[in-house]
Amino acid sequence: MITKGSFRPARSGDISRIAGCLVEGGLFAAEMELADYIRRHPWGIHLHQRCPEETHAVLDVWREGTGTSIIRLFKSRPRDQRPFISYLLDVLVDEGFSDALSPGLLPSATRPFKKAGFVECERLLVLKKRSLLHVPTQKACELRRLAAGDAGGIAAIDEECFDDMWRFRIGDTQKMLASVNGFVAIQNGAAMGYTMVSTSREAGTVGRLAVRPEHRNRGVGSTLLAAGLDWLREAGAKEVTLCTQRGNLRSRRLYRSFGFEQLPEELWIMQKDL
């Protein structure tokens, strides 16, 4: 019988058993990064006592200072799903979080979360560019690579470009800049916009693209996107995926102009008050 007692936090001795899944999935760059995460967040990774390769999850803080957590990755055997979600929610309550978000889920995967009391929070469109052989050349502004010192500027851009759920705070940007690549658009020394990209093996991701409202319709977004795609191609990516909100028509037009195609199924983000 599967109960909450069937699960436990990951320990350093578990790294070799679960690293393959977590590194291949792009959550961690290498086993060393995974080990460091377990050391800094002893509540952050959980697994099945007997079948850790088949049932495990990664928990994280969603946004700095919000009290919101996220189940960043959830992999489970079907029979483990409901007790494992219940166990994870108990962990988050014990850690003092006020609510929890699910990972991005296909509609077919939402049922165990609904059974646990999660409700739909957001639906995201998934877009894919299947080849990086032809990327439009764009140079409408000056760019430079993102650096650790850009955390404050990125947080200021997010304040203007995203709602409360999606914007990065300065602590979030500091954490992201340690693990992603990207570019910032500059005018007179000030940041106009930025993009963040990452790659896992041959799969690239555009994780972020934002341009301050007063600098839109000037080719800044196109220049940033082209630079990000060029970097992904140089890094070995063969195709690129991104997510965007259904109502973000401006971004959807930009992505289509670069050859991105919308995939049939949306990703659901679900939420539960704790």
Interval 70-92 mean pLDDT: 93
H/E stretch holding 256: helix 249-257
pLDDT more than 90, % of the chain: 65
Proportion of the chain above pLDDT 70, given as a percent: 99
List Cβ neighbours of 249 (8 Å cut-off, separation of 6 or more). none
Residues 6+ apart with CB under 8 A from 201: 24, 236
Q: What is the pTM of this model?
A: 0.89
Average of per-residue pLDDT across 106-113: 94
Enter the tokens of residue 143: 């760019």
Which DSSP string do the residues of 33-65 spell out, in sequence order? HHHHHHHH-TTSEEEESS-TTTSEEEEEESSTT
Q: Enumerate domains of the chain plus CATH numbers.
A: 4-117 (3.40.630.30), 128-266 (3.40.630.30)
- On the question of pLDDT at 25 being above 90, the answer is no
> Quick one: pLDDT at residue 197?
95
pLDDT of residue 141: 87
115 falls in which pLDDT band (50, 70, 90)? Answer: very high
Q: Give the per-residue pLDDT at 1.
A: 65
pLDDT band at 67 (very low <50, low <70, confident <90, very high): very high
CA separation for the pair 145, 155 (Å, rounded): 16
Tens digits of residue pLDDT in 157-209: 999 999 989 999 888 888 888 778 999 999 888 899 999 999 888 889 999 99
In sequence order, the 6+-apart residues with CB closer than 8 A to the CB of 230 are: 135
- Residue-level pLDDT at 201: 80
